[in-house]
Structure 1
Amino acid sequence: MRIAVLDDYQDVARSLADWDSLPGQTVFFTAFLGHEDDAVTAALRDFEVVVAMRERTPFTAARLAELPNLRLLVTTGMRNASIDLDAARELGITVCGTAGSATAAVEHTWALILAAARRLDVELFSTDRPRAAGQPWQQTLGTGLSGKTLGVYGLGKLGSQVARIGQAFRMHVIAHSQNLTAERAAEVGAEQVSKEGLFSRSDVLTIHLKLSERTTGAVGEEELALMQPGSILVNTSRSAIVDTDALVFALDTGAPSLAAMDVFDVEPLPEGHRLLRTPGVIATPHLGYVTEDQFRIFYTGAAQDIAAWAGGSAVNVLG
């Protein structure tokens, strides 16, 4: 049995789980295989088992059909929108998931909120990025959070945690999602508002929706036009929820003034991408789930899934 562990960018997977206990050979891919089907299928054609890191490498119906030896696909986490589960089932490919922790994404959301509020994208320097000659010691005026309004778009598992932390900063928390009730919002100390109210009243608006047909493009020109000058939009959820064209236009007008983003339509984000040339964008390379604790859970779970499947009793089966 040949096992492929994909997108191990930090080259840490082999140290975070007991791969040696598995039958066969495990190969770790530390570089992104690319977006082209030919390159991905050529690299994976001989593998029976593939471990995918979240949604870094999509497995569409066409791509799965070009992998005749694939019998088990393991994704880190229990949800992966980039895997065609119906196609996998038709092709006889078992798809399994792993446990995970929501705290890493919540913490990174707040890292981005604080970075934007205090303009760390401009002010930060270190031994690797020293202050340039002639650069002022201080360049910006930060935004205090106490007393400001935090808008949470999607008050599920992640959004609820973000909301509670907002209260610790003495922010007024408002929230909206399609099925949110006033009672549910009150449970986490938030005020239920309309979608229009969410965008027009938020000083900081953070997105925590699940990606679906309904939420794709849910934040577009109309919604962004409601945001206040000086406000901050944060997206650690899914890129497709926010219309990129509308966001670039809105940032040019100054409302919102900043967009702190951890997710993008194309990942890895190509060099010279327009978002990297747009003033007001603070970007991190999809780090919301990238912590040692989280990866240990992911990779240990993946190895356990493989062992169970090889023993004839698959666990954590998706779809």
Structure 2
Amino acid sequence: MKLNCAILDDYQHVAEQMADWSVIESQVNIHSYHEYFEDRNELIEAIQDYEILVIMRERTKFPEDVLRKLPNLKLLITTGMRNASIDLKAAEKLGITVCGTRGKGAAPTELTWALIHGLSRHLIQENEAFRNGGAWQSTIGVGLQDKTLGLLGLGKIGQQMALIGQAMGMHILAWSEHLTPERAEAVGVQLATSKEQLLAESDFLSIHLVLSDRTRRMIGAQEFALMKPSAYLINTSRAGIVDQTAMIEALQQGIIAGAGLDVFDTEPLADDHILRKLPNVLGTPHIGYVSDDNYKCFYEDAVEDIQGYLNNDIQRQLIYVRK
């Protein structure tokens, strides 16, 4: 008897084109869902008969109360090797194998720079004027050369950001709780003496941290008050690292000049949300990882994960780490 596999949140209708699913079609039936399930009960009703689920990042959450209502679920595959929206402890307890996939690190770096350029050169405003017959040259851009790029986190993406910033002629300043002078020096970056120094000196503050209890709401009202009124916040990491209420107030009151945002507390963001309306926000719908090479890597690995499960050779398993 064939197993049933659901691919969730395939917004662009491309999941089945990004990998060769035919290698498992003799053992697995594949069905893609293209719309987000806003109602949890509707989600459970739709997927409760599936033995395998392939999910995209944190688009749909799988806490314990959802997992318990999926008695047939045996294999849960998430794109990426980390997913804070899956209760790994509950999955282990319920006998659900959780696996991840690899990814291409360049895509989120590329989008982060697109947001920086879009904000600094007012690209949306100028493009709209160009298309609609508006004023010819209505803004003055902010040059990047000799400005300070502040990196909150210097992991793989943060290091890529630093290299590109250096090529732009920017001064690179970085800080995170466990960042050492040796690691910063290895990529030619100055280590800020404190988070406060990073905030006060950055012209563009870009966040590249993992969301955890330690980093949740790390940037709040007090932190925004330390930033330059000409500074821009860029967040393509996780929305929860920034206090969203404090950020909105900072944007509305001109405490900072603007923000480039790709991540939000609730996704998709409500149509009438204030962040969709603020003129100093350049927003994208969590597309930092949405690129052709990344999607191919995600879904090809998902197929490998399913093959591994069928052959009792589990690939890229995500394990609950007991604290």
Give the TM-score normalised by the residue count of structure 1: 0.96
Deviation at 1:246, TM superposition (A): 0.6
State how far apart, in whole Å, the 1-side matches of 2:60 and 2:138 are: 40
SS at match of 1:175: strand
Deviation at 1:311, TM superposition (A): 1.4
State how far apart, in whole Å, the 2-side matches of 1:42 and 1:212 are: 31
State how far apart, in whole Å, the 2-side matches of 1:284 and 1:121 are: 12
1:12 matched to 2:11? The reply is no
1:258-277 superposed matches below 5 A? 258-277=258-277
Q: Deviations over 1:178-229 (max 9, x none)?
A: 0111221111111111111101100111000110001000000011111112
Q: Deviations over 1:159-184 (max 9, x none)?
A: 11101110000000001000111221
Hey, what does 1:293 align to over in structure 2? 293
Hey, what does 1:107 align to over in structure 2? 110
| Counterpart residue type for residue 235 of structure 1 | N
Hey, what does 2:163 align to over in structure 1? 164
SS at match of 2:260: strand
State how far apart, in whole Å, the 1-side matches of 2:162 and 2:255 are: 22
1:42-191 superposed matches below 5 A? 42-125=45-128, 131-133=131-133, 135-191=134-190
SS at match of 2:304: helix
1:40 matched to 2:43? The reply is yes
1:25 matched to 2:24? The reply is no
Q: Deviations over 1:266-315 (max 9, x none)?
A: 00111011111223111000010000000000000001100110112211
State how far apart, in whole Å, the 2-side matches of 1:29 and 1:302 are: 16
State how far apart, in whole Å, the 2-side matches of 1:5 and 1:24 are: 12
1:198-213 superposed matches below 5 A? 198-213=198-213
| Counterpart residue type for residue 30 of structure 2 | T
Q: Is the 8 A contact 1:235 1:261 kept in 2?
A: yes
Q: Is the 8 A contact 1:199 1:226 kept in 2?
A: yes
Identity across matched positions, percent: 48
231-240 vs 183-192, greater mean Cα deviation: 183-192
Deviation at 1:130, TM superposition (A): 6.7
12-21 vs 200-209, greater mean Cα deviation: 12-21
State how far apart, in whole Å, the 2-side matches of 1:182 and 1:205 are: 19
Deviation at 1:18, TM superposition (A): 1.4
Q: Where do 4+ consecutive residues of structure 1 move more than 6 Å?
A: none
SS at match of 2:114: helix
Q: Is the 8 A contact 2:199 2:226 kept in 1?
A: yes
State how far apart, in whole Å, the 1-side matches of 2:11 and 2:286 are: 12
Q: Is the 8 A contact 2:148 2:203 kept in 1?
A: yes
Q: Deviations over 1:26-54 (max 9, x none)?
A: 001111122x2201101101100000011
CA RMSD, 1 decimal: 1.2
Deviation at 1:101, TM superposition (A): 1.2
State how far apart, in whole Å, the 2-side matches of 1:307 and 1:114 are: 42
Alignment size in residue pairs: 314
Q: Is the 8 A contact 1:251 1:279 kept in 2?
A: no
State how far apart, in whole Å, the 2-side matches of 1:256 and 1:247 are: 9
State how far apart, in whole Å, the 1-side matches of 2:67 and 2:127 are: 44
State how far apart, in whole Å, the 1-side matches of 2:84 and 2:270 are: 22
Hey, what does 1:195 align to over in structure 2? 195
State how far apart, in whole Å, the 2-side matches of 1:151 and 1:89 are: 39
Q: Is the 8 A contact 1:252 1:279 kept in 2?
A: no
Q: Is the 8 A contact 1:8 1:28 kept in 2?
A: yes
Give the unaligned 5+ runs of structure 2.
Answer: none
